[in-house]
Amino acid sequence: MKGPLVLDTHAWVWYLASPKVLPKGLVRILDEARAREALHISAITPWEVAVLAQKGRIAFSLEPRRWLEEALRVRGIGVVPLDAGIALEAAHLDLPHPDPADRFILATALRLGAVLVTKDERLRRYAKARSLWG
């Protein structure tokens, strides 16, 4: 698959921590994108992981902050900063739910012209977004 990919939060965590839970073939696609430095996460993604860990909704073998620090150093996965364009895009998305992290992640993919890698059906149904899962 050519072009940039943006990982939703669960896709990023699973890719790094539990790749076997990803659909068959997806890891190869992500590895290829990573080798081309075309694999990205939104800057909001580490925040969402930290919040989920604080709420006890996600657990790691390491302390969550340490896991995040190590995950953010993985070569080939870029962090796309939030900017005014992404913020405006996120504010004007016609989504049925107000989750700010989902909005910023989807807006990041749209602004990059990237494919969004997500299992979330609500995001995959969004008309303007290209998505990939399995």
**Segments making up each domain of the chain, as ranges:** 5-132
- pTM to 2 decimals? 0.95
- pLDDT, position 16: 98
User: Burial level of 17, CB count in 10 A (0-12/13-18/19+)?
Assistant: middle
According to CATH, the superfamily of the domain at 5-132 is 5'-nuclease (3.40.50.1010)
> Dihedral of CA 14/19/75/37: which sign?
negative
- pLDDT, position 29: 98
Query: Which segments are annotated as binding site?
Result: 8, 102
What b/e string do you get for 31-66 counting C-beta neighbours within 10 Å, with b at 16 or more? Answer: eebbeeebbbbbbbbbbbbeebbeeeebebeeebee
- pLDDT, position 1: 76
What is the mean pLDDT for each group of 10 consecutive residues in the chain (134 residues)?
A: 95 98 96 98 98 96 96 98 98 88 97 97 86 89
- pLDDT, position 129: 85
Query: Which segments are annotated as binding site for Mg(2+)?
Result: 8, 102
